Amino acid sequence: MADVHGLKQRLDSANLNLNNIEVRSPRELRVSVPRQRLVGFADYLRTEVHARPELIVAEDTRLEDRRFTMRYIFDMEGAAGVVIASVSVPAEDPTFPSLATRWYLASRFEREIHDLFGLVPTGHPDLRRLPLHQFWPPDYHPLLKDAMVRQDFYDDGEPYPFRRVEGEGVYEITVGPVHAGIIEPGHFRFSVEGETIINLESRMYFVHKGIEKLFESATLVQGLQLAERISGDSSVAHALAFSQAVESLAGVTIPPRAAYLRVVLLELERLYNHIADVGAICTDTGFAVANAHALRLREDLLRLNARLAGHRLLRGCLLPGGVARDFGAEQIADARGLIARVAADFDQIVEIATTNGLVLDRLHGTGRLNQQTAREMQVVGVPARASGIDADARRDHPFAAYAALPLRVVVHTEGDVWARLMVRVEEAREAARLIGLALEALPSGTLAVPLDALPEGEAAFGLVEGWRGPIWHWVVGGKKNTLRRVKIKDPSFANWPALNYAILKNIVPDFPLVNKSFNLSYAGNDL
């Protein structure tokens, strides 16, 4: 296990020709890496401290020094610290070395940067478009500071270059992007032999909304409101990640009461979503009665949210510096009583569902994602823990009041729909327990601290374990306390590609069930 101080000493003596190696906090080491040494530095971190890039950010800083700035946030396995490497890319040579052949997730970040900034990752094996579809002008990169509004959008008629699987008896089934329901659009192209799926390729970004562009020049209030709306069922998690980044940038510590209230709010969001997902998975096995009762409990929790916070999805509760709403004694009693009843009812639903032979036959062995594949693809959150990866930011990178609470991380090893269901079941129970503990230990005191002006040009990150998985927000301060750049990583960005592997060797009718067991966010991915 490495800590940031120990790693700094090792980097100082490693003869890597690095610049400005600085420990910013007990959890953060920053270093400037010459562009030509990025690959060697990344290989060193991978070999020596088992680090991997969890977030790659591009910033258009040409107004300051005619350069772009790349940020690589490496998470170290088994350690609470991260390494943030900064790389300058000259405007006259907008290229940077690709890490795509080392980490699959890096390849996706690099494709995104290529589309949105026009920077070219040299050595990338697959630079097909990612967020920008074919009707966007090829020379238009909307996250450049000097990007102008364009009207010359057109479809040249060329189909997206999906990979084809050919052979005797192999045929394609296309699903979406428009679906027979109220879900958002995504395109799934199956290669099938008989009914057995031998390949799946997915394409997203049909609802790319330019959210990161909307953050530019926003005030903190506007930024918070936008963060709450990135993915509607993760309002608290995204608002909290944004607030943490701003607080780190401003150098403030929130009051203890606010820290405990943040735990309550985040676990309430986890609880209502996990219960709903358990019911939805049961529906896709044909056991709709479980879903009816799960939705009843979800509605009870949403009404509790409204009584506690004034909003069913808990919007308006958080703000940089603390929380915006307090809970009185009657509200706390209401919450504890209702959650106890919901938890008891939920246990009965789970028992009925998991002793039903029809449900068990459909769940066990379906949609298996093995641990090696999950690790190589940097899968996170519920699917990762269902595949035997013991990782949870609440424990590994403590925030709010989680360091003071006895958190149990739920891990299963089977990697199938059953495991993903049971991770949700046990995490829902754990959420109910943590809410009770946080309310019982709720200290008195203020709800928020004021923030000074954000330092212009400085950057910080927030990391929150949302109910789907870890959410990252990278925030750069702008002029007059506005935002210059905000980069978001929703767990769905990492997990959508893993669905393509989990479905292999299953039959076509299993896809809705496997897809639901991941329950990824189109909005969180497409941004």
Q: Over 504-525, what HEC string results?
A: CCCEHHHHHHHHHHHCCCHHHH
Q: What is the pLDDT of residues 432-460, one digit of tens each?
A: 999 999 999 999 999 999 998 999 999 99
Range of the domain at 476: 211-526
Q: Which residue, 300, 307, 291, is CA-closest to 356?
A: 291
How wide is the angle at C-alpha 29 spanned by C-alphas 35 and 85, nearest 5°?
Answer: 15
Q: Percentage of the chain with pLDDT > 70?
A: 100
Residues 87, 230: one domain?
A: no
Residues 221, 90: one domain?
A: no
Residues 453, 331: one domain?
A: yes
Total domains present in the chain: 2
Do residues 57 and 474 lie in contact, with contact meaning Cβ atoms separated by under 8 Å? yes
State the amino acid at position 356 in one-letter form: N
CATH number at residue 27: 3.30.460.80
Which of these three, 122, 140, 171, is where a domain ends?
Answer: 122
What Cα–Cα distance (Å) separates residue 247 from each residue in 24, 241, 293, 449, 451? 14, 10, 40, 10, 8
CATH number at residue 487: 1.10.645.10
What Cα–Cα distance (Å) separates residue 283 from each residue in 14, 418, 419, 422? 56, 14, 17, 15
Calpha distance 523→526 (Å, rounded): 5
Give, as one character, the DSSP assignment of residue 37.
Answer: G
- Residue 183 in domain: no
Q: Which residue, 170, 198, 200, is CA-closest to 187?
A: 200
Which of these three, 122, 142, 165, is where a domain ends?
Answer: 122
Residues 116, 222: one domain?
A: no
Token match 């639901």: residue?
A: 516
Which of these three, 67, 99, 122, is where a domain ends?
Answer: 122
Residues 216, 112: one domain?
A: no
- Residue 199 in domain: no
**pLDDT value at residue 197:** 95
b or e along 353-383 (b: 16 or more beta carbons within 10 Å of the residue's beta carbon)? bbebeebeebbeebbbbbeebbeebbbbbbb
**pLDDT value at residue 2:** 64
Residues 6+ apart with CB under 8 A from 471: 234, 237, 238, 241, 463, 464, 465, 488, 489, 490, 491
Residues 6+ apart with CB under 8 A from 12: 21
Q: What share of the chain is helix, strand, coil (3-state, %, to 5)?
A: 45, 20, 35
Residues 110, 218: one domain?
A: no
Calpha distance 278→297 (Å, rounded): 11
- Residue 347 in domain: yes
- Residue 321 in domain: yes
Residues 113, 218: one domain?
A: no
Residues 115, 248: one domain?
A: no
Q: Which residues of the chain have pLDDT under 50?
A: 1
Residues 411, 510: one domain?
A: yes
- Residue 166 in domain: no
- Residue 498 in domain: yes
Token match 């940031």: residue?
A: 4
- Residue 144 in domain: no
Residues 6+ apart with CB under 8 A from 266: 236, 237, 240, 400, 464, 466
**pLDDT value at residue 198:** 95
- Residue 189 in domain: no
